[in-house]
Chain A
Amino acid sequence: MSKNPIIRLENATKTHTLGSEEVHALDGINFTMEQGSFWAIMGPSGSGKSTTLNILGCLDHLTSGKYFLKEEDISQLNDDELSEIRLSHLGFIFQSFNLIPQLTVQENIELPLYYLNWQPNAYAKRARDLADLVGLADRLNHRPNELSGGQRQRVAIARSLANDPYIILADEPTGNLDSANGEQILQLIIDLNKNGKTIAMVTHDPDIAAHASHQLHIRDGKIDRIECRESKGE
């Protein structure tokens, strides 16, 4: 069944210790994400869906269990090595956009490429191409506070694509947008997926989740169910 797995969690457990009490944010989760799939991670608040995304995004460590990225176990890596994985292979889209306010659109898109040590003319071209892709070619020298919410999220999407990641991790990307803008952003994400990007998106909106190929429902740190939509457009 698994033709080309990108991410595989094996018995993933995350435990927070609050005083003497242990809280299982994740309690033995197993799933495999394949290349080109579109996962919606759902669940009530406090269920562990954000923790799942942080784990997938290498921002957090597992307490126990294994995390395979492209069949490589990365659950024991240190902070610098995880930074390197985020830099090279992961892209993030946040609910609140998280652009750096003092940088221009172009500089925000270029940011991952700075840390990847690209040459200036190479990353400038890449930033222009990506701005073009999200329809903001004429806004390159604007600052984030000069843009609308929808436009900001487009910049964030362009930035998440800069390093050509294995997978894009989106945390309620339409949560701060009105329905019209939210629709457009969602369409952009769907288009990315159609072009082959693997996507994991946290959402609580079933209508948005309906566009995903897989729906991962989490409850109390455990997998409630995984719904797989067979008729996924290629």
Chain B
Amino acid sequence: MQLTEIIRNVRLGIKDLMIHGLRSLLTMLGMVFGVGSVVAMLSVGEGAGKEALEQIQKLGSNNIIIDSVKPVEQASSSKGRFALDLYGLRYKDFERMVQAIADIKSAVPVKITREKAYYADNVLEVRVVGSTPDWFQLVDHNVLSGRVFQASDMSNRANVVVVTENVARKLLTFSGEQRSNIRIGSNFFEVVGIISSGDAKDGDGGVQTPDSPLDVYIPINVMRERFGDIAVRKVSGATIREKVELQQVIVQVNAKEQVESSALAIETMLANFHDKKDYTMRVPLALLRQAEATKRTFNIVLGSIAGISLLVGGIGIMNIMLATVTERTREIGIRRAIGARRGQIILQFLIETVLLSMFGGIIGIFLGLLIPFLITYFADLETIVTWYSIVFSFGISLTVGVIFGLYPAVRAANLNPIEALRHE
């Protein structure tokens, strides 16, 4: 089998396909839609998974995040006007964690409350986060100006605050100078730095990151002194008083491999000291794996559906090629009588089938590039066309061409030349 022979057969194949242009086009359609839907569906799957994965990755793959939650049973038992709900993580829990878990690289306690912040005539409801300087290492952010607070601020019990860019814009109404004092609740704080805002959209069903756009950060010991551990909320007429020492603890371990064992150790330890389950644990790595598995399943399902249309396209091509072989029985007889070997007849018809499926595949790829574009444009869904989905579906279309072309080609080659020549 020489290259010139292949080239000659390709030219012959194109010519034969052009003779029945409409028929070839219609036959190709199956392939076009098959390949197009594979590329398009994989791009939708890829796009859907991407956002969730990015958010999880922002949590840090070496991190474990423990949140205080109000236990379900206690929620109903809070009767009485001055009842105090006591739940959540304790300062003691944090100390025990740091002492007992060997693989912890760093850990930060987090207190969160909502307060009004005042500057000049501006008022802004902000989330006050009390933590240690390590917080800024564990949560991804950029320092835009000034500095974050330090260990010395902790030991000095300094009234310093780091605000996010959004807070700076809305409250300070400018972002250049930090040396301003803002009032949070009833206490004055000196703004020492501005960091970039977290871009987490609250309540969009995604994974919540530890930072939010309207955050102010102060040292945790200062927060404990100024705001205390008791929060009072008014919910539909009733006053709810809660005492929560720590809203959150973020733990970072040394290596990915230690995440799961450390999470288990923390879980066991917390279970020992808490009667009720008033905390939840989030392990970004586990979430990541889960999200990846979900994405994979999603891709497999979408890919299989699209794969079926490829199969249908292939069968359509085979059907037409079988008809072509019957139609061209005489030609096959002539070629055999002149001296074409069986292999050469197989090659001729196989190349014709592969050409058909390949052209279908190429048109399908363009369709597959167009559809995600339209989906993004009209449905506002993120789509990502990956190069491997193109290579993969093109490869499949060639393979389908070979597989479904082989039978008609072999059938053509096995025709008895004498009978083929007599065929009308």
Given contacts A87-B339, A98-B334, contact A59 B417 (CB under 8 A): yes
Those of B1-31 within 8 Å (CB) of chain A: 2, 4-5, 8, 15-16, 19
Asked if B341 and A83 make an inter-chain contact with CB atoms under 8 angstroms apart, the answer reads: yes
Those of A90-129 within 8 Å (CB) of chain B: 90, 92, 94, 98-102, 111-112, 114-117
CA distance A192 to B16 in the complex (A): 34
Inside 8 A of A15's CB, which chain B residues have their CB?
none
Of A54, A83, A87, A117, which is within 8 A of B2 by CB?
A: A117
Inside 8 A of B4's CB, which chain A residues have their CB?
117
Inside 8 A of A79's CB, which chain B residues have their CB?
341-342
Task: Label chain B's interface by main secondary structure.
Answer: helix
CA distance A86 to B334 in the complex (A): 12
Inside 8 A of A92's CB, which chain B residues have their CB?
337-338
Asked if A102 and B337 make an inter-chain contact with CB atoms under 8 angstroms apart, the answer reads: no
- Shortest distance from the beta carbon of A115 to any chain B beta carbon, whole Å: 5
- Shortest distance from the beta carbon of A110 to any chain B beta carbon, whole Å: 10
Asked if A86 and B16 make an inter-chain contact with CB atoms under 8 angstroms apart, the answer reads: no
Q: Does A181 contact B (CB under 8 A)?
A: no
Asked if B337 and A86 make an inter-chain contact with CB atoms under 8 angstroms apart, the answer reads: yes
Asked if A80 and B339 make an inter-chain contact with CB atoms under 8 angstroms apart, the answer reads: no
- Shortest distance from the beta carbon of B106 to any chain A beta carbon, whole Å: 75
Q: Does B330 contact A (CB under 8 A)?
A: yes
Those of B335-360 within 8 Å (CB) of chain A: 335-344
Question: Taking CB as reference atom, which chain B residue is nearest A51?
Answer: B418
CA distance A197 to B333 in the complex (A): 25
Given contacts A114-B8, A117-B2, A117-B5, contact A100 B331 (CB under 8 A): yes
Question: Taking CB as reference atom, which chain A residue is nearest B330?
Answer: A98
Given contacts A100-B331, A102-B19, contact A115 B421 (CB under 8 A): no
- Shortest distance from the beta carbon of B341 to any chain A beta carbon, whole Å: 5
Asked if A115 and B19 make an inter-chain contact with CB atoms under 8 angstroms apart, the answer reads: no
CA distance A85 to B15 in the complex (A): 29
Question: Taking CB as reference atom, which chain A residue is nearest B9?
Answer: A114
Inside 8 A of B418's CB, which chain A residues have their CB?
54, 59-60
Question: Taking CB as reference atom, which chain B residue is nearest A79?
Answer: B342
Most chain A beta-carbon contacts within 10 A, residue among B330, B339, B343, B417: B339
Of A60, A101, A102, A112, which is within 8 A of B338 by CB?
A: A112
Asked if A98 and B421 make an inter-chain contact with CB atoms under 8 angstroms apart, the answer reads: yes
Q: Does A43 contact B (CB under 8 A)?
A: no
Question: Taking CB as reference atom, which chain A residue is nearest B417?
Answer: A59
Asked if A115 and B417 make an inter-chain contact with CB atoms under 8 angstroms apart, the answer reads: no
Inside 8 A of B343's CB, which chain A residues have their CB?
80
Asked if A84 and B339 make an inter-chain contact with CB atoms under 8 angstroms apart, the answer reads: yes
Number of interface residues of B (CB under 8 A): 24
Q: Does A48 contact B (CB under 8 A)?
A: no
Of A54, A94, A112, which is within 8 A of B339 by CB?
A: A112
CA distance A158 to B243 in the complex (A): 105
Inside 8 A of A83's CB, which chain B residues have their CB?
336, 339-342
Inside 8 A of A88's CB, which chain B residues have their CB?
339
Asked if B421 and A94 make an inter-chain contact with CB atoms under 8 angstroms apart, the answer reads: yes
Asked if A102 and B15 make an inter-chain contact with CB atoms under 8 angstroms apart, the answer reads: yes
CA distance A164 to B330 in the complex (A): 24
- Shortest distance from the beta carbon of A161 to any chain B beta carbon, whole Å: 12
CA distance A57 to B417 in the complex (A): 11
CA distance A163 to B340 in the complex (A): 13
Question: Taking CB as reference atom, which chain B residue is nearest A112?
Answer: B338
Inside 8 A of A94's CB, which chain B residues have their CB?
421
CA distance A116 to B339 in the complex (A): 9
CA distance A117 to B340 in the complex (A): 11
Per-position binary interface string of chain A over residues 35-46, scored 1 when its CB falls under 8 Å from any chain B CB and 0 otherwise: 000000000000
Inside 8 A of B344's CB, which chain A residues have their CB?
115
CA distance A88 to B338 in the complex (A): 9
Inside 8 A of B16's CB, which chain A residues have their CB?
102
Most chain A beta-carbon contacts within 10 A, residue among B4, B5, B337, B341: B337
Question: Taking CB as reference atom, which chain A residue is nearest B340?
Answer: A115
Inside 8 A of B19's CB, which chain A residues have their CB?
102
Inside 8 A of A60's CB, which chain B residues have their CB?
418
Inside 8 A of A101's CB, which chain B residues have their CB?
331
Question: Taking CB as reference atom, which chain A residue is nearest B338?
Answer: A112
Question: Taking CB as reference atom, which chain B residue is nearest A101?
Answer: B331
Per-position binary interface string of chain A over residues 144-181, scored 1 when its CB falls under 8 Å from any chain B CB and 0 otherwise: 00000000000000010001000000000000000000
Question: Taking CB as reference atom, which chain B residue is nearest A86?
Answer: B339
- Shortest distance from the beta carbon of B60 to any chain A beta carbon, whole Å: 66
- Shortest distance from the beta carbon of B75 to any chain A beta carbon, whole Å: 82
Question: Taking CB as reference atom, which chain A residue is nearest B4?
Answer: A117
CA distance A98 to B332 in the complex (A): 11
CA distance A182 to B342 in the complex (A): 34
Inside 8 A of A86's CB, which chain B residues have their CB?
337-339
CA distance A60 to B342 in the complex (A): 15
CA distance A80 to B16 in the complex (A): 26
The 4 closest A-B pairs by CB, nearest first: A87-B339, A86-B339, A83-B341, A98-B334
7 A/B residue pairs, CB under 8 Å, sorted by A? A59-B337, A80-B341, A83-B340, A98-B333, A101-B331, A102-B15, A117-B4
A interface residues (Cβ-Cβ under 8 A, vs B): 54, 57, 59-60, 79-80, 83-88, 90, 92, 94, 98-102, 111-112, 114-117, 159, 163
B interface residues (Cβ-Cβ under 8 A, vs A): 2, 4-5, 8, 15-16, 19, 330-331, 333-344, 417-418, 421
